[in-house]
Structure 1
Amino acid sequence: MMQLIERGLASLDEDVCDTLPELKDIDILFQDKENSSGGAPEDSVDVSSNANGGNPADQYTGFRIEKAKGTITVKYTGTSWAYGGGLDWAGAMIERKTGTTLEDYMKANIWSKIGATCTTFHPEKNRDELPPQLEMALRTRMEDGQTHISPGRVILEYPRKNDLGGIGLFGTADDYIKLLVALLQGGKGLLSERSVDALFQPRLDRSIRSAMLVGAGKQMRRILGAKDTDDVDQADHSLAGTVTLRDIPGRRRKGTVSWAGLPNLHWWIDRESGIAATLFTQLLPSMDALVVDLLTELEEGLYESVLGGEFRNSRLHKI
């Protein structure tokens, strides 16, 4: 999308309905969770079909929920944050504005520019040219507290009928690090440095960062160095992912942008330190605590290795 903005084909401030008219008068449906046994309170609603994260309604600041004669009404009273399908619609906008598929657009304008040869929405079309596909695994916790790894699967229909901006790519860690490095180097070959700045700029008002920290979940808060959901001066959100607002001792610096894919695929870009990194697994459930432990160890070891004595000394002055 930032490439289209640079070319004058799109704007961050445009009305998406001009390109995607199907969004113009869309209804948002909420399901009343009240049951005959009187279990849930009257103002409780199920919003799992409204946001990919399945966040409960009490995580949405800026909404007032009213009930009258068996009908739930949600009145919008402000601005908030929820994990949803916005990037899927961004992908649809790219296809409409360029007259091509997202697969072909990315191949011509992203992957071929950085020498990434194994990233695609449709591995079934290029099976002979791609590395073997890693199978999905699932970690389950037994009654005795031990964990067990078994085969797992992502509930997505393949081959995909549509290329989605938010999910569905197959690729390798080698390909992905090339993308991260290009952004670390100011967009080299992909975007102007000004566009990268816009991509990584914190975007949320301080008053609604708590909603983002709630929706991100406990393990993401650990990654971001946030003590709890009220630690709103520690993390924000950009167009590309979460943003760390303060240095994390021994780890990433202020301004680091990061995110994670469903099967525990983590990445971060720390422009101040000159570090970009990724940890790829193929393991469910998402945000597995042991993988976050591993990620933290990797990050601490990487910063110690790359920055050495300079990094150790800087840590002595944290207050």
Structure 2
Amino acid sequence: MAEIDAILGKYTDPKTGSIHGASFVAVDANGNDIYRKSFGHQKVDIKNSPPLTLDTVTWIASQTKLTTSVSVMQIVERGLIGLDNDVREVLPQLKELKILVGFEGEDGDMEPEPENEDDGQGPYNPKSVPRPKGKPIFEDVKGPITLRHLVTHTSGLCYDLASPLLMKYSAWIGRQDNMFSGTIEGFFHPLLFQPGTSWTYGPGLDWAAKVVEKLTGLEFDEYQQKNIWQPLGAKNTTFFPAKRGLTPADIHETACRAEGKGSQDLEPGTCPWKFECRDALGSGGLFSTANDYSKLLAALLSGGGPLLSKASVDELFRPQIRSGAVKGLREFIIGTSLDNTQAPIWTGSAKVWQDVMELQHSLCGVVNAEDVEGRRRKSTVHWSGLPNLIWYIDRESGVAATFFTQLMPVGDRPARQIWLDLEEALYKIVNKK
């Protein structure tokens, strides 16, 4: 434990560290703690900040997706829908969706660059994109859009602000909502490929949450409280912290690197997520705590606990996608990695990206296709959250862990390195046992 203490102390040291506050929790298959501590502060200005604790409420971003996948497996287990049923029969509005192929005319045929109006969204302002002169070109969806497609990112839905083509479409049609608007309308836009044929990171789980709502008659936050958080005894997780009496001052503050300065120079950053969203959004809307989230991981590691049957947990973590989607997944991971510092997340050594291991995708995250020496075993499933959070469940080794912080931008080098340092130290303990 001393080595993990030293790692967290090093990275959160106010004078020499690179993160203002971080929590790390690891549990075994019997639900026992291997490690559970917080270091650092809740705010960037540490002189006026309480210490960070395991119960500090934090925006967990895409770590929300695991909870939505659990909700989906619950309604499948109850026979309300099948993973391969067409969700458009439950959500008729999705029958309007087509596949966006491109725009008429030359690629450079655009209206003049608009003035960058301040709409409170900063760099996520859709008005900053010029409007194409030509009309969009669509093709019809040729098969079903299934629940399995939605939760494995193979539906064709892509986050709009991650796609230049969808940004052009938004400019052309004059969309006001986007992925950070706090509304389901922010995720209503064309697909980019035929469902099941490729992989791209997107809002499928937001629509999966809407399927849960429609079939259970419960708003998604209420559904999760009754079916996930209350059974786990987790009291501080919600899509709507303001309704719990919390304010932005109560939340783990987002930090960012001071431009042009060293890794120790942090300043308060802007969280892209709206504190008061209109909708409970299943791909990134939850606020939680390290204590609460680790209860979810422990339940899944132990075989489902009060949430799911073991058969459903097996299905949740099983590789799910076909070769075309595996190719898309690999291209996404390679294409969004700025340098080789991220390769060790997947390989255990600083190899070039072409040497990254084969990967798969389950119903809730990426699956390692092979062992990583001294670290996670084959079939470990993991995913992360935008402000550099991460979780993983290694059923073969009998360990699950999560790392909580609030640091932008995503892919921050020191944050990636602390993930590796903590995982290597954790597995020294696990492997010794």
Q: TM-score when scaled to structure 2? A: 0.60
Q: CA RMSD in A?
A: 3.0
Q: 2:397 aligns with which of 257, 273, 276?
A: 273
Q: 1:35 aligns with which of 90, 108, 116?
A: 108
Q: 1:160 aligns to what? A: 277
Q: 2:82 aligns with which of 7, 11, 18?
A: 11
State whether structure 2 residue 255 is matched by structure 1 residue 137. yes
Q: 1:60 aligns to what? A: none
Counterpart CA distance in 1 for 2:89 and 2:397 is 41
2:299–2:306 contact (8 Å) kept in structure 1 = yes
State whether structure 2 residue 236 is matched by structure 1 residue 118. yes
Matches within 5 A, 1:199-218: 199-216=316-333, 217-218=336-337
Counterpart CA distance in 1 for 2:240 and 2:383 is 23
- Deviation of 1:247 after TM superposition, in Å, equals 0.4
Cα–Cα, structure 1 residues 293 and 108, in superposed 2: closer, same or farther, change >3 Å? same
- Deviation of 1:138 after TM superposition, in Å, equals 1.2
1:119–1:175 contact (8 Å) kept in structure 2 = yes
Equivalent position amino acid for 2:83 in 1: L
- Deviation of 1:199 after TM superposition, in Å, equals 0.6
- 2:273 counterpart SS class: coil
Counterpart CA distance in 1 for 2:89 and 2:77 is 19
- Deviation of 1:147 after TM superposition, in Å, equals 6.0
Bigger relative contact order (CA 8 A; separation at least 6): 2
- 1:24 counterpart SS class: helix
2:157–2:200 contact (8 Å) kept in structure 1 = no
Cα–Cα, structure 1 residues 146 and 100, in superposed 2: closer, same or farther, change >3 Å? closer
Equivalent position amino acid for 2:79 in 1: G
2:346–2:357 contact (8 Å) kept in structure 1 = no
2:257–2:263 contact (8 Å) kept in structure 1 = no
State whether structure 2 residue 202 is matched by structure 1 residue 84. yes
1:94–1:102 contact (8 Å) kept in structure 2 = yes
Q: 1:300 aligns to what? A: 424
Equivalent position amino acid for 1:293 in 2: Q
Higher mean Cα deviation, 151-160 or 297-306? 151-160
1:114–1:189 contact (8 Å) kept in structure 2 = yes
- 1:160 counterpart SS class: coil
Q: 2:345 aligns with which of 214, 220, 223?
A: 223
Higher mean Cα deviation, 225-234 or 7-16? 225-234
CA deviation map 1:127-173 (0-9, x unaligned): 2699931111112441x765631111222333110001101110101
- Deviation of 1:20 after TM superposition, in Å, equals 0.6
Counterpart CA distance in 1 for 2:429 and 2:249 is 30
- Deviation of 1:221 after TM superposition, in Å, equals 4.9
Higher mean Cα deviation, 18-27 or 225-234? 225-234
- 1:183 counterpart SS class: helix
Counterpart CA distance in 1 for 2:388 and 2:356 is 24
Q: 2:162 aligns with which of 54, 57, 78?
A: 54
Cα–Cα, structure 1 residues 6 and 146, in superposed 2: closer, same or farther, change >3 Å? closer
- How many residues end up aligned between the 2 structures? 282
Counterpart CA distance in 1 for 2:246 and 2:263 is 39
Higher mean Cα deviation, 122-131 or 110-119? 122-131
Q: 2:215 aligns to what? A: 97
Equivalent position amino acid for 1:126 in 2: R
1:199–1:238 contact (8 Å) kept in structure 2 = yes
Counterpart CA distance in 2 for 1:188 and 1:114 is 9
Counterpart CA distance in 2 for 1:162 and 1:206 is 34
State whether structure 2 residue 407 is matched by structure 1 residue 283. yes
- Deviation of 1:265 after TM superposition, in Å, equals 1.1
Q: 1:20 aligns to what? A: 91
1:213–1:229 contact (8 Å) kept in structure 2 = no
Q: 2:380 aligns with which of 248, 252, 256?
A: 256
Q: 1:69 aligns to what? A: none
> How high is the sequence identity, in percent, across the aligned residues?
42
Equivalent position amino acid for 1:270 in 2: D
State whether structure 2 residue 321 is matched by structure 1 residue 174. no
Specify every segment of 5 or more residues in structure 2 that has no aligned partner in the other structure, as ranges.
1-71, 111-135, 137-155, 166-191
CA deviation map 1:241-268 (0-9, x unaligned): 0000100011100010000011111000
Equivalent position amino acid for 1:152 in 2: G
